[in-house]
Structure 1
Amino acid sequence: MTRLLGLIRGDGGQSSRKWQHLAEPTWPPAIYAVGDIHGCIDQLIDLEAKICADATSYEGDCWIVYLGDLLDRGPDSAAVLDRLIDPPPAGIRRIFLAGNHEAMALEFFNAPRTNAHWLQFGGDTTLASYGIQQSAWAGASARALRDIVRSHIPREHLDFLRNLHLTLSVPGNVFVHAGLRPGIAPDQQAESDLLWIRGDFFDAPPTPGLRVIHGHTPGPAVVQAEGRVCVDTGAFATGILSAVRLTPDGAINIFQSSISPASGPQG
């Protein structure tokens, strides 16, 4: 059940976000990178169970890196945030990256507008997951919409979204939502590229000695290309949420949910 304690008060969610880069000098025993969840709670629960069972074969804490786009399009964004905010299982460290959908959602929560692009980009299903149906916000005044948002979105969800990371770097690998612009260090990248880039990233030759693990561009299967791995398999449309396990020796193993797809918007 969505937490209703600590609802938005006072500032309308306008506190600045604190998205930063994270760099770790050493590897854990294994890193599991989870693709775009997009509000698919059943798939997330199923996939996390598989990951946690696999992680018990390693000594020391393993990491789960969530590659952004936790929200929107799928039916249960509020439940996804509830789960991710909860403490992780023993032996697991969670690291959460920002995606373009988190950026759009926070922009809306900061200044709600009925004509916001986010509402046509899957944000309407996120609002519905908090009990805000379209009939409640369509045509509402700015003040009325702000009051609706304040009364339904838990502050702890906003705080969680404001404190995501832009990238995670470990030796030889960068984890990011969309990709990297060639020739620029991860911590010097434009935020818009980290959250939105496609063609310029895909078309560039790989950077020697660097592998980029990303989501953002859905496909029918996990993509393992030279210098990059794309883990987005369009869970909201296909019912398949994917993850890859990476180990310091460079090996990659794929994990996927086995929950039937729920009905929802396509594309």
Structure 2
Amino acid sequence: MPFGFFSRKPAAPSLPAGLRAYAVGDVHGRLDLLTEMLTRIREDNAARPPADTRVVLLGDLIDRGPDSAGVVDLAMRPLDFASLTVLQGNHEAMMLQALAGDHEALTGWLRFGGSESLRSWGVSLEAIERYEYSRLIAACRAVIPPPQLRWMATRPRALHLGDYYFVHAGIRPGVALHRQSDQDRLWIREPFLHSTARHFAVIVHGHSVTPDVELLPNRIGIDTGAYASGTLTALGLEGEEQWILQTG
């Protein structure tokens, strides 16, 4: 067979030398699990050679679980051992849209975990269940600190490091990086989840819950349903190495 007919095995994805990254899946109001995970990451990082360490939270800090307010407060603080990047998820986007006065978004947000978030910020159950929407939005904005809302609104939608692209939900297969939309970055499931195409990078994402980590050639899904399962997952990356940390 002529030399040109031999296929070359694709190179393993990697991070640049000296860089170490930990990506953390959807927290959804579980302050207890995020606190535990950050301790595990700190210990894992300390057991390895010194590196430029990055921690990336993949969005959906809020909703469903009991302490969204506490999770946001913790995520806004700098880490003492690594740089921290917090991406925006679709639940943060829903919250911001709802509190900007979009009644349709408010309906969806309350149905998918927003009520738990509001109670963690001190909004009463009576207000959530009985207030008409304009009054409820006013009650929310009265108790949620404006700096927290501004912080959530300015979170990036993605982070590109080496051969990995960190994003909340995923990307649109077959579309160049510069043409990807925030709608897809925050919300997409199909055709992303079943695509076998090689993307511009290996996509590290949350958003779509699976009982186990999905380690695939073109994407790595790490949303293990922490708010219900008690298992919050982090993916560690350095060079060509990949490893998993989990709570519980």
The TM-score bracket by the shorter chain reads 0.7 to 0.9
Match of 1:38 among 28, 42, 50: 28
1:206/1:226 contact within 8 Å kept: no
1:29/1:58 contact within 8 Å kept: no
Q: Which has the larger helix fraction?
A: 2
Aligned position for 1:4 = none
| Residues 93-102 or 144-153, more deviating | 144-153
1:41/1:77 contact within 8 Å kept: yes
Structure 1 unaligned spans of 5+: 1-24, 259-267
The alpha-carbon distance between structure 1 residues 28 and 216, as it changes in their structure 2 partners (threshold 3 A), is: farther
Aligned position for 2:167 = 176
SS of alignment partner, residue 64 of structure 2: coil
> Which amino acid in 2 is paired with 1:184?
V
User: What does 1:1-267 align with in structure 2 at a 5 Å threshold?
Assistant: 26=16, 29-56=19-46, 57-89=48-80, 91-111=81-101, 113=103, 116-207=107-198, 210-248=201-239, 250-258=240-248
Aligned position for 1:14 = none
| Residues 62-71 or 109-118, more deviating | 109-118
The alpha-carbon distance between structure 1 residues 180 and 82, as it changes in their structure 2 partners (threshold 3 A), is: same
Which stretches of structure 1, 4 residues or longer, exceed 3 Å deviation after superposition? 25-28, 112-115
Separation in 2, partners of 1:183, 1:75: 39
- In the TM superposition, residue 143 of structure 1 has moved relative to its aligned partner by 4.0
1:169/1:175 contact within 8 Å kept: yes
Separation in 2, partners of 1:222, 1:169: 20
Relative to the length of structure 2, the TM-score reads: 0.88
Structure 2 unaligned spans of 5+: 1-14
Separation in 2, partners of 1:146, 1:177: 26
Alignment RMSD, CA only? 1.9
Relative to the length of structure 1, the TM-score reads: 0.82
How many residue pairs align between the two structures? 232
The alpha-carbon distance between structure 1 residues 189 and 171, as it changes in their structure 2 partners (threshold 3 A), is: same
| Residues 108-117 or 226-235, more deviating | 108-117
> Which amino acid in 2 is paired with 1:141?
E
Separation in 2, partners of 1:185, 1:28: 28
CA-to-aligned-CA distance 1:141-190 (integer Å, 9 cap, x gap)? 34422331122101121111011111111221111111111121233212
Separation in 2, partners of 1:42, 1:62: 23
- In the TM superposition, residue 47 of structure 1 has moved relative to its aligned partner by 0.7
Separation in 1, partners of 2:216, 2:16: 24
The alpha-carbon distance between structure 1 residues 253 and 146, as it changes in their structure 2 partners (threshold 3 A), is: same
